[in-house]
Amino acid sequence: MLNTAENVLSQIARAAPVFAPVRLGRIVNCDGGLIEVSGLNAPIGTLCRVQTRADEAAPAAEVVGFRGGRSLMMLLGDTVRLQPGALVRAEGRPGVVQVGEEFLGRAVDGQGQPIDGGPPVKARNNWLLGGKRESALERSSVIEPFDCGVRAINALATMGVGQRLGVIAGSGVGKSVLLDTMVRGADCDIAIVGLIGERAREVSDFVGRHMHGPKRGRTIVVAVPSDHAANLRLRGAQLATSLAEYFRAQGKRVLLVLDSLTRVAHASREIALSLGETGAARGYPPSALATITKLIERAGNSATSGGAITGLYSVLADGDDQSDPVVDTARAILDGHIVLSRDIAQRGHYPAIDIPASLSRVMTDVTAPGHRSDANALRGLIAAHEGNRDFVLMGAYQAGTDPQLDRAMALQQPIQNFLAQDAGENFSLPESAAALAGLMDDAGR
């Protein structure tokens, strides 16, 4: 007890006193979640509190712009009981969040407040919420393989430490289950999972599966369900990335999972449209798509600290449209993508990875020549079978016409067994490479 009191007193002694007057503003307009405040000229990114009655929690808002001498803020909660003329005060430092080891083993929301029933997280290391733009040469090359625990990916689209990989699929095809399996089997020092815009039930299930046992001490969950405010969803993705950057600066190998990148783009779109920005590509303003690029570019290897952020980003293809603007933007900036197919999922095959459409742009740099040769050969067999699947099912194909297709048909069951994997299973990278070599030996190479 005395030690605790001593620590608190020492923190108070170190704190710099602030004698400046507290500036207050007043709400003069409210349009949805966007409010206008007069008399408070706060920088963009500042968190503010709306003063209410003593028995009510003070709603939080974030400054997102200014117009005509008034500050434009977006509430981080609901507008219920908000009144015209209510006083608003700024708090904290704009664009800065607290990060640190105190977050390990915890589940928090977009403001860093605990949602796991534990005590408040008292981290004291400041970090820029939007990240710090660094030189391109600060990102060192991807030269080491990354073990994700999924046999099909380890063997045919091998990841690298510091790679940014997208998992692209429509709704209900198994993105979250695949990411869950990869988090469980990943070889990393720290795993940070951002569940942005997902169902609250999925958040509860994920925390129940991963936040226990020996791996809890290396896992952080940042969860902002779909019913929360748009800017809170965006802050959740930025907080998860800031935490990853902090641990990378300590020389750690971090796995950063964002599920989903599309929900982040939707949140950024809501904010941009509220501020009057014009929708361009299918209703997405340019700033919404730029938000995706900024988030992804913050991951990668650090030449200074030797740490790495290996990024896994789920991308929802609305209506299974692979030309969706978010999908196109993400695919152009990512270092590879895994495409999940609804047709494959409907056959009861999981994970429903479309092997010919999936690739890792760093596989050549992180695998041995023999592994690459076997992977290319197997990809060719899978592509030959999938490209002629309808002819084979109709009986229109005559054996002997295409030797590669004949091999693919003869090995179809072993190939399917190799690609299939239960949700609770994990296969290491050496096991995956050995299984691939054994399969190709059976195929006569």
Letter string b/e over residues 259-273, b meaning 16 or more CB atoms within 10 A of that residue's CB: bbbbbbbbbbbbbbb
Query: What is the pLDDT at residue 400?
Result: 74
Average pLDDT for 317-321: 77
For domain 96-366, the question of CATH label 3.40.50.11890 is answered with no
Q: Which residue has the higher pLDDT, 393 or 291?
A: 291
Average pLDDT for 169-177: 87
In order, the DSSP letters of 24-75 are: EEEEEEEETTEEEEES--PPTT-EEEE---TTSPPPEEEEEEEETTEEEEEE
Average pLDDT for 47-57: 79
Query: What is the pLDDT at residue 291?
Result: 92
What is the spatial distance between Cα 379 and Cα 433, in angstroms, rounded to a whole number? Answer: 14
Yes or no: say if 287 and 266 are a contact pair by the CB < 8 Å rule. Answer: no
* Assigned token pair, 181: 């399996």
**pTM of the predicted model, to two decimals?**
0.90
Yes or no: say if 277 and 241 are a contact pair by the CB < 8 Å rule. Answer: no
Query: What is the pLDDT at residue 13?
Result: 56
For domain 11-90, the question of CATH label 1.10.287.130 is answered with no
Please give the mean pLDDT across all residues of the chain: 88
Q: Are strands 308-316 and 359-360 parallel, antiparallel or unpaired?
A: unpaired
Give the start-to-end residue ranges of the domains of the chain: 11-90, 96-366, 371-443
For residue 400, how many other CB atoms are within 10 A of its CB? Answer: 8
Using CA atoms of 407, 409, 415, 419 in order, give the dihedral in degrees to the nearest 10: 130
Q: Which residue has the higher pLDDT, 9 or 419?
A: 419
417-427 pLDDT tens trace: 999 999 878 99
* Terminal Cα-to-Cα distance of the chain (whole angstroms): 70
Query: What is the pLDDT at residue 356?
Result: 94
Confidence of residue 370 (pLDDT cuts 50, 70, 90): very high
Judged by average pLDDT, the poorest of 147-156, 215-224, 386-395 is 386-395
Q: Are strands 24-31 and 34-38 parallel, antiparallel or unpaired?
A: antiparallel
Dihedrals φ, ψ of 194, to 5°? -105, 110
What is the spatial distance between Cα 334 and Cα 101, in angstroms, rounded to a whole number? Answer: 28
CATH architecture of the domain 371-443 equals Up-down Bundle (1.20)
